[in-house]
Amino acid sequence: MISCENLCKSYPMGHGIKHVLRNLDFTIQRGEHVGFLGRNGAGKTTLIKLLGGVEMPTSGKITRNMSVSWPLGFGGGFQGSLTGYDNARFIARIYGQDYSDIKDFVEDFTELGRQLKMPVKTYSAGMKARLAFALSLAIEFDCYLIDEVILVGDHNFHQKCRHELFEKRADRALILASHSADLIREFCDRAMVLEKGHGTMYSDLEEGLRVYVGL
């Protein structure tokens, strides 16, 4: 289970403070598929980063009683001077996994070929996204955090992402941040609608979608 209590996030902005998230309270159980819906700037990506431990809340509490991925596709943890293979080796060491297994998965999933021997700082944005996504999926978690902005690439890559996430890991908890009602309807069981820093969770998915569309 993931539990959030009075979760707040704000940032300094000029001479004031920008409040992105205000007093969110919700829980997510094992195996649930939950969508975060909101317009651009509503705080969806910020909330995903908080749940993944990429950022810390300004106040409030996050309790994780299951293993949670970092946001899928998040490339902020790359060491740019290292190669794709070196970054994969580092992830294997951190999570105590066999490097050869992760290496094989990354090679197959990214289809980057010889580029994996090159420093990540030489990669295009699309190549970095492929590597980041592959490294995220190479480790098995109880809950995966997904920001739709990482659903990039060609049709073949899209299909790989969908197979790995929504078919092979259908029994895992999934949290999907999106501004697409259709995407949330396809993959989620319930949804939280974010607006002006506040969030309302809807167990009735269609009700949540109607509220979101009406914003």
pLDDT in tens, 19-31: 999 999 999 999 9
Mean pLDDT, residues 30-35: 96
Q: How far apart are CA 162 and CA 176, in angstroms?
A: 12
Task: Identify the pLDDT of residue 71.
Answer: 84
Q: Residue 24 has which token pair?
A: 């969110």
Task: Identify the pLDDT of residue 75.
Answer: 58
Q: Which of 14, 11, 17 is nearest to 57 (CA)?
A: 11
> Is 147 within 8 Å of 73 (Cβ atoms)?
yes
> Is 191 within 8 Å of 209 (Cβ atoms)?
yes
| C-alpha to C-alpha distances, 215 to 37, 79, 209, nearest whole angstrom | 11, 40, 10
Q: How far apart are CA 113 and CA 101, in angstroms?
A: 16
Cα within 13 Å of Cα(35), Cβ side:
27
The predicted-structure confidence for 126-175, as pLDDT tens digits, reads as follows 888 888 888 888 999 999 998 865 555 677 787 888 888 888 998 999 99
Q: From the CB of residue 151, how many other CB atoms can be counted at a distance below 10 Å? A: 20
Per-residue confidence at 124, pLDDT binned at 50, 70, 90?
confident
DSSP string for residues in 22-66 = EEEEEEE-TT-EEEEE--TTSSHHHHHHHHHTSS--SEEEEEESS
The predicted-structure confidence for 44-86, as pLDDT tens digits, reads as follows 989 999 999 989 999 999 999 999 998 876 656 677 889 999 9
Q: What is the mean pLDDT of the chain?
A: 90
Q: At what angle do helices 99-110 and 84-95 cross, to 10 degrees?
A: 140
| C-alpha to C-alpha distances, 102 to 16, 27, 89, 105, 161, nearest whole angstrom | 45, 31, 8, 5, 16
